[in-house]
Structures are given as structure tokens and as C-alpha cells.
Amino acid sequence: MSYEPVIGLEVHVQLRTATKLFCGDRVEFGAPPNSHVCPVCLGLPGALPVTNRAAVELGIRAGLGLNCEIHERSIFARKNYFYPDLPKGYQITQFDRPIATGGWLDVPVDDAGESRGNDLPAGRVRIRRIHLEEDAGKSIHDRVPGRTAVDLNRTGVPLIEIVTEPDLLSPAHARSFLTLLKQTLEYLDVSDCDMEKGSLRVDANVSVRPAGSTALGTKTEVKNMNSFANVERALAFEIERQVALVASGQSVTHETLLWDEARGEARTMRSKEESHDYRYFPDPDLPPLVVARADIEAIRANLPELPTARRRRFQEEYRLPEYDAEVLTATRPVADYFEAVAGACGDAKAASNWVMTDVLGWLNQRQVGIDAFPVTAGDLASLIRLVADGTLSSTLARRVFTRMTETGRAPADIVEEEGLAQIRDTSQIEAWAADVIARHPQEAERYRAGEEKLIGFFMGQLMKMSRGKADPKQATEVLRSQLRAERVSGD
């Protein structure tokens, strides 16, 4: 019997706000432990929470970007459980009345497993709900052996939790969904989504069932995954484990698992709680969250173009291949930079090649973002135009590009000051060609005998002699002409 997985995700996203969800403490990653806490986020008697308007607006922005319905009225609830890093003994979140429901995200998916007997477009992942909540603190286990330290700076930091329907078809589909979700949230500017800082955290729910069945198996939840690659690995491991259990007639235990990256396996953390275990009830200190429809529509009107739409437009408007469009829209700042270069130089494909190869290569080598790139879009466009009008060969252009990244100077200034303009003086190129042919008589005879691929050898020698400055097209024509002339005269 063959089995299929049923996968749903819970994604916690830290909102990009200056202060916490219900108090005025600053949100600052890496601050000294317990330096940004107050009576409200510590849950001290008499302290009353006040909702952060900026966090609500970002939550709405995320919901709209993910095609959700935004509810004008939602309720904050208390989720009761005890952890050492949850000082109040409960978390303020939203339960049965979240701020957003019913969204979706379309994710490319392989043909295999596209249909499961429903009417969803292939690869569509439905968003069941998005709710606002506060974060807990952080337990630190490795500073003193046998002891746990607690840093409460993160307590009260605003989050949204994005809960999907169990629509994901495979571990690879889950990874593709998370990649597109992260891009979408970054385009919306609701979060930096930095997994190393804990700004985006993923819990995965998975079960297996006989292929084609509509019944749901017993699910487990896998936690502690700090990258999308680990989400994919953990899901593959857990699917294989569950299939082995079910196929041998054993039962899957409903439990929460921790992913051990070093061992490449999931291990039991605790039995899985149900919603009633948390004893949800409306928070008596917070009134219902009411948002005017006009405010929702104002946020909608200011949404940016999202990555899927931008990718499609790059293919249609700039006639770029699908691969180029995908690479260039991976982040909003890079897409913005490309568009600025393409608009200024008038050649979208040339702009794409330079940004994808040279600009992204420079950024990847230094592991920095486009904001740290020292060459303006206008200067890169000027460099592309110098190649197009024949002032620079592609080889010289790369040399100028390097000097631009080192100095920040405009390409025309570098060309003039360092004498890097391409040489198109016919008499000079003819002299170099004659010299090269004279220095390599054996290769010249082989060329005349029909080994025409040797033109590349002669071109290499001529470009070396000219220090890369000879116009390649003109040099090739002169070399062919002189080699033909000598062949004719020799005949």
C-alpha cells in the first residue's frame, strides 16, 4: 500500500515594530538580558496592557498580502500554560476571533500529487487564520552546565501566527511555500523574517494516510527548526517514520517532537496538547479589537506589488526568462535596483545579466545586502551603455566594474583617468595583428590549412598585446583578413 502525507504549518512571524505588543518597551535583538522589561510584560499585579496600533496595522497588512479576509472585530484571549520564560503564566493571543481568516498562497508544485480530489488550483495552500499574539521569553540552557537562564526581553514582542490548512503535498512543497511566504512578508515589510534572530519560526504538523483516502491519520508536530532546509528534512524523516509504523500495524502517537539537526532525527518533547488544554478565555484587561473598514482599505491601497506578480511582470514587460525573473525578484531591494538599472540603460537583458552575475556575486561573496553595494543603479547603467556604444569591451567593463566597487567613482571618470577606453584605430589593430601572425608562423600555417578554430588563439594573443583594449569585433575581422591575404599571396 502506498501512503501520502498530510502537512500543515504554523508560522510565527515577529512584526517589525519599535515597541512590544502591549507596552512601550523597545524591541531590540541582542540587548543585554532582561534590559527591556516592565510591569506589563512581566505580568506584575495592577499592570494593564495597551495594544500597539503599529502591530495591528502590520498584521492587517500581512493578512491582505496573503489574500485573507480582515475582520473589523477580533478578540484577544488568554492562553494558559506554564513555562519558565512565560512570567504571567498565560500568553495573550487570539483564539476563536482572529484578525484574519481564509487566505491563500499559490506555490509552484510538480505534476506528481497535484490532485487530491479537490477543486483547489495545483499547489494552492490555503491560510486558515492569522492571529496576533505576544511572544514568550527565551530560555538559555548552555551558559552554566545543569542550569537554565531566562531572558525576558522577548516577552511581549508582537507576533502574527500564520496557520495553513493541511494542503501541503510534500516536504519540498512545504519548503517552496515557506520560501514564497518569506518573500511575500519581506515585500510587505511586515518583518525582517531573519530566522537566525528568531523572527520567523516554523512548527510543522504531519500525518500519513493511504493514498487517495480522505480520512486523516494521527498527526505529530515537529518544532525547533531553524531553516527551511531543516523543515524539509524533518518532514521527510517524520513521514518515513510514520509510514513504517502504520505499514507494520502500529499506531502513531499524538505528540510534539523536537528536531535534532545534528542527528537528523525527531525526538519526543511532550504529549500533544489540544486547544481545551489551554483554557482559552477573553482577556478581561483588553477590549475587543475594532478596526474601521476605511482603515483596512487604506492599508490595502498602499500594498506593494508582491513577488509573484512582479515575477510575472518582469517576464512580460522586460521579456526576461523565467529564471532571471525568479532570481531578480527574490528580494524587493534587488528587484528595485534591477528596475532602476534597466530603466536608466534601456536594455533589460543586459541589466539582468550584470545584476545577476556581477552585483549578486559581489553581495554573496561578502554576505551583505544590496543596501551595502557601493555602485548606484545610475552608474551601473552608465557602464552598460559604455559597452553598448563600443567604448568598452566586456573584459574592460569588468575591470571598470571592479574599480567602481572599490572607489565608488563613475565609470566614465575611471575610463578617462586610467586610459581604459577600447581602441578602434584600424592602423593600430592592423599593426598588432601583423605582429601576432609574424610571431606564430606555425599556427598561421595551420590556420591557412583549414584549422580555423585557431582564430581564438590569435585573438587571445592580440588582446594580450593590446592589454585588452582592442575592439574584439574589429580585431577578429583584421586577423581573418590578414591571414586570408597571406594565404592568397602564398598560393
Q: At residue 104, what is the residue type?
A: W
Same domain, 206 and 338: no
Task: List the grid coordinates of 134.
Answer: 505576544
Same domain, 100 and 242: yes
Query: What's phi and psi for 3, nearest 5 deg?
Result: -125, 155
Report if residue 379 sits inside a domain: yes
Same domain, 432 and 410: no
pLDDT reported for residue 394: 83
DSSP states of 89-137: SEEEE--SS-SEEEEEEE----STT--SSS-PPTTEEEEEEEEEEE---
**For the whole model, what pTM was predicted?**
0.84
The answer on pLDDT for 113 being more than 50 is no
Give per-residue pLDDT as tens, 457-468.
998 898 888 877
Q: SS3 for 170?
A: coil
Residue 430 confidence class, pLDDT cut points 50, 70, 90: confident
Report if residue 300 sits inside a domain: no
Task: List the grid coordinates of 119.
Answer: 477543486
Give per-residue pLDDT as tens, 276-295.
788 999 999 999 999 999 99
Same domain, 384 and 354: yes
Report if residue 172 sits inside a domain: yes
The answer on pLDDT for 371 being more than 90 is yes
Report if residue 284 sits inside a domain: yes
The answer on pLDDT for 316 being more than 80 is yes
418 alpha-carbon distance from chain centroid: 39
Q: How many domains does the chain have?
A: 3
Locate cell 499592570: which residue?
47
Same domain, 257 and 127: yes
Mean pLDDT of the region 158-170:
96
Locate cell 585588452: which residue?
468
Task: List the grid coordinates of 101.
Answer: 481568516
Same domain, 287 and 339: no
Same domain, 249 and 148: yes
Report if residue 345 sits inside a domain: yes
Same domain, 392 and 439: no
Residue 112 confidence class, pLDDT cut points 50, 70, 90: very low
Same domain, 183 and 78: yes
Cα separations (Å) of 58 from 14, 70, 218, 331, 390?
A: 10, 12, 35, 19, 49
Q: Are 311 and 344 in contact (CB under 8 A)?
A: no
> 418, 445, 470 — which closes off a domain?
418
Report if residue 82 sits inside a domain: yes
Report if residue 215 sits inside a domain: yes
Q: Are 395 and 422 in contact (CB under 8 A)?
A: no
Q: What is the dihedral of CA 141, 142, 147, 151, to 10 degrees?
A: -50
> 396, 418, 440 — which closes off a domain?
418
Same domain, 438 and 395: no
Which of 144, 26, 37, 147 lies closest to 84, judged by CA? Answer: 147
Q: Which residues pair with 442 in a beta bridge?
A: none
Mean pLDDT of the region 456-483:
85
Domain containing residue 486: 426-490
Question: CATH code at 456?
Answer: 1.10.10.410
Q: Are 22 and 66 in contact (CB under 8 A)?
A: no
pLDDT reported for residue 360: 97
Distance between CA 93 and CA 45 in Å, rounded?
19
Same domain, 134 and 246: yes
Report if residue 151 sits inside a domain: yes
> 389, 418, 447 — which closes off a domain?
418
Same domain, 59 and 189: yes
